[in-house]
Structure 1
């Protein structure tokens, strides 16, 4: 079935035009002197219908998770393309938007912030998505609108990926919600203002950052009800230092995480990569994170021990937790030193070697000591990936309980 594209403008959100299929290409909005003046952040560029998922298929997906999740209905999926600011100018970004089948008003809007992803084709809004179908099954299949930002550097975005850059994730998420509101009007849907956040791994850090931003400045048309962070790297500096100790440096995936952080932060903060990495890896790493590679292509290039990535003097400074441009940047992007007002559940697995459990415990301890509305949930002897799977059923039950209270 050919894909349908629906073009919407903010000033004509109700005027929907269906066109033929084809790939979405981000418009070129670069202008001398900064931000493109003709557009606004959160403005909807394009809405593309990706087709329906029937209840039987969604039930099949949901049944893969523990907890016997029942799916009530089908859903329709869309790719949303919109404007968001990044490094001083507006850029095109994208995300997945799933709406429950039927005419009934949605219970609310669930934003899912996905974990580390290096492959553009696997972004939530792309046909080969890794994240999106599961959230559609569990939440859209049970009456919620579901929103997943691709993030800067994924989906239609051709920017370098803003990996673990909290402000960029906040902007991309809030502007997607603005664009979704315009899209929902054009689709004739009632508003779904009750907002629930859920994030895994990188997305756990993002969920905390978005929750914090919404409590500092609420987003028009939405009311934050609750958030869930799963295996999130909230205190980035402490996590980096801990994962460079002999006990953790050779853990699976570690070298990939550190190479990704070094590449993203060097570009974002204006430092040459060879200030941080050895000449060999400074030359090899950028091509690994250009959006075209898969995780399986990293292992042959990167060392088993993450410490070998770094210049010796830089590694020594990190291991000693000395102040430098990278540790300052990691501190700038920490999301553990604040106290949520709306409830925030923090989940972690005891056997997680990707994001050490101490990150969750540190966030909880600080927030609780400062009057935060937080709870800490240990999932037992499970690793990074299984910690996410175990959280879908309790997340749905919690969101349903909250949505029943108006």
Structure 2
């Protein structure tokens, strides 16, 4: 059912003002003296109450996952709007914030980084969200604060979606955590400094990138305890090359993934789309990823075989793993060549045709060889989507075990 939307305006104790209810504040806000005030990354723009989810409803949601997950309480949901940098300027971004009801102090904060989503209306912070209720049920229903970034290009963001752009997802996630800290003060909640990351598919790549960034430069007010990546495309360049082989090129969803990557990377790195795609698809693809289309609307437009998307000479270069602007960009966004210090659990399904299992194995092999605190967990003969469902129960048990260690 749609959740009623009530605007909640407040003055945070940290002297962060929310100026009025309704529209997101524009970048150039004039103060009483007529001078423009500079904004800061992670600054809270707006907090919007999306309503409660009672324990019975959360238990119903959690019961859909394997593992007999019990839910202890209800939760209240909010949309957080905040500032974050993107391509040299601050932009408004948004995310979902769920807090457990009945207790001022939470066990910690769980950040869930969602998988590929092309439809703006299905962003986690939207009332009719696709992602968010499940994580609220499993984690907020058991005493954790839960945070889901919409990502740049989804939610309130008007930018093109920064699909598989690691730095943009890191910035959006860390700045959402900064904004959530301000929001929690305004709500009168105690801090929840223990931080846990969990990401699926695209979100697996993002979870690895955020974990890596936090170990290079910790975020004030938070302590990273552990992370989970599920079916993540960590070795992007190798994954792209492998998925363009005859054995994988016609797999379901492949053409959609490649079209999305080409569209996002062309815009982000400043290359015309027709350098990569044929003239036919270069003309058709941008409209497919403007945030208004559903995945079902892609199939009639895109080819069954992903190789047909590309200009012949560019396809040959990709298949031969030759150096070009796209392969260099994919390397820039890889998240498999580093060694975690805080524990990182890597999950994958053996029958995953969307993100090939080799991606998880490559990440694990490199991290382990370099002293990384990693584990590799095969989920058996399951596909991409079922790999996520199988991970909620063990994730909750692991986060609870970590939270019990002070």
Q: Is the 8 A contact 1:4 1:18 kept in 2?
A: no
Shift of 1:33: 22
List alignment gaps of at least 5 residues for structure 2.
Answer: none
In structure 2, distance between residues paired with 1:31 and 1:276: 47
Displacement after TM superposition at 1:152 (Å): 0.1
The verdict on how the C-alpha distance between 1:86 and 1:74 changes in structure 2, with shifts beyond 3 A counting, is: same
Q: CA deviation at 1:19?
A: 11
Question: SS state of the match for residue 284, structure 1?
Answer: helix
SS in 2 for 1:13: coil
Q: Mark the CA change 1:203 to 1:35 in structure 2 (over 3 Å): closer, same or farther.
A: farther
Deviation at 1:102, TM superposition (A): 1.0
Classify the secondary structure of the residue corresponding to 1:265.
helix
Label 1:119 to 1:105 Cα distance change in 2 as closer, same or farther (>3 A).
same
Partner of 1:251: 251
The 8 Å contact of residues 3 and 21 in structure 1, kept in 2 or not, is answered as no
Cα distance 1:396–1:34, how it changes in 2: closer, same or farther (>3 A)? farther
Q: Tell me the equivalent position of 1:269.
A: 269
Contact 1:29–1:91 (8 Å) recurs in 2: no
Any unmatched runs of 5+ in structure 1?
Answer: none
TM-score using structure 2 length? 0.94
Give per-residue Cα distances to partners, 1:198-238, cap 9 Å, x unaligned.
00000000000000000000000000000000000000000
Q: Give the Å deviation of 1:104.
A: 3.8
Deviation at 1:25, TM superposition (A): 8.0
Judge conservation of contact 1:118–1:289 (CA < 8 Å) in 2. yes
Distance 1:67 1:26, change over 3 A: farther
Flag the 1:141–1:271 CA change in 2: closer, same or farther, 3 A: same
For the structure 1 residues 260 and 233, does the alpha-carbon distance in structure 2 shift closer, same or farther, using more than 3 Å as the test?
same
Once the two structures are superposed, residues 360-399 of structure 1 have per-residue CA deviations (whole angstroms, 9 ceiling, x without a partner) of 0000000000000000000000000000000000000000
- Partner SS for 1:277: coil
Distance 1:87 1:224 in 2: 27
Separation in 1, partners of 2:260, 2:393:
31
Please report the RMSD computed on the Cα atoms of aligned residues, expressed in angstroms: 3.2
Instruction: Quote how far apart the aligned CAs of 1:22 are.
Output: 6.2
The TM-score with structure 1 as length reference comes to 0.94
Instruction: Assess if the C-alpha contact under 8 Å between 1:346 and 1:376 holds in 2.
Output: yes
Post-superposition offset of 1:128: 1.7
Do the aligned residues in 2 keep the contact of 1:7 with 1:17 (CA within 8 Å)? no
The Cα offsets for residues 51-94 of structure 1, whole Å up to 9 and x where unpaired, read as: 00000000000000000000000000000000000000000000
TM-superposed CA distance for 1:4, in Å, is 8.1
Distance 1:359 1:33 in 2: 55
